[in-house]
Amino acid sequence: MITLKSKDEIEKIRRAGQVVAECILRTAEQVKPGVTTLDLDRIAEEYIVSQGLRPAFKGYLGFRHTLCLSINEEVVHGIPSKKRVLKEGDILGIDCGAIYEGFYGDSARTVPCGPVGPEVQRLMDVTRESLDRGIEQMHPHKRLYDIGAAVQAHAEGQGFSVVKEYVGHGIGRALHEDPQVPNYGTPGTGMRLKEGMVLAIEPMVNLGGQETYILGDGWTVVTKDGSFSAHFEDTIAITEKGPEILTRLK
Ligand code: MG
Ligand code: MG
């Protein structure tokens, strides 16, 4: 069931989203060689709690941390660990959610640890651009799969592949609500988008093939061919004027 959000509800999601955005920024500033992903998780948790919010992922389906931190060939859902030490040339996906007065915000960014090669930089740039192309479609009366079609056209047009097994989602009173929002699709198909829908759009784009699998920890999704993967996500409200991104700092 898809729930439309009132202006008041969107303001609560925005508050959650702004804390998530600031949290990702603060976490990203600490990404450097020698830092562990557990160190970063602590920084994030402390910040969210200091703002009077709750981390959204902690306790979700048994996940025990504030962030999902995914290095290099890890696509999403990497588990923070003191054994995972960042080194120069790594890329790190930082995925964060927070809850404010019962409403969720969800966002992700992929950042480099020191200098990275040009292909890897281009992977990150194109994934971010693909997210923006998807968001541009979020006007009332457009169709749901217009979003994924725009993401896919840009990412594949630049020679990368799009992960199909994991998708964007409605968000509000729950972290994951209907509808699912794939990062691929046929333009002009799917349900009509409506004012008051709030969706998390989150392209996952691989340097190599699209296939993935889940590691033995039950969480970490990795590319089958070991190629690097990037992930960018925003939470967006559809208004009569078009998309309003709730997880970018004003
Ligand atoms: Mg997320
Ligand atoms: Mg999400």
Question: Distance between CA 169 and CA 142 in Å, rounded?
Answer: 17
Three-state DSSP at 145 gives helix
138/142 Cα distance (integer angstroms): 7
**Does residue 221 lie within any of the structural domains?**
yes
Measure 180 CA to ligand 2 centroid, in angstroms.
10
Specify the number of domains making up the chain. 1
Q: What length is written for the chain?
A: 250
Residue matched to tokens 């992903």: 37
- Cα of 76 vs centre of ligand 1, distance in Å, is 9
Residue 1 lies in a domain: no
Question: pLDDT per residue over 79-128, tens digit each?
Answer: 999 999 999 999 999 999 999 999 999 999 999 999 999 999 999 999 99
| 48 CA distance to ligand 2 middle (Å) | 17
Residue 232 CA, ligand 2 centroid: distance in Å: 10
How far does residue 127's CA lie from ligand 1's centre (Å)? 15
Q: Which ligand is nearest to the CA of 76?
A: 1
Question: Is residue 250 situated within a structural domain?
Answer: no
Which residues of the chain, if any, have pLDDT below 50? none
Range of the domain at 240: 7-245
Which pTM does this prediction carry?
0.98
**Nearest CA-CA partner of 131 in 97, 106, 165:** 106
Rounded distance from Cα 47 to ligand 2 centre (Å) = 20
Q: Is residue 2 part of a domain?
A: no
pLDDT at position 250: 81
- Domain with 99 in it: what CATH number? 3.90.230.10
Contact 209, 161 (CB under 8 A): yes
- Find the 118 Cα to ligand 1 centroid distance in Å: 26
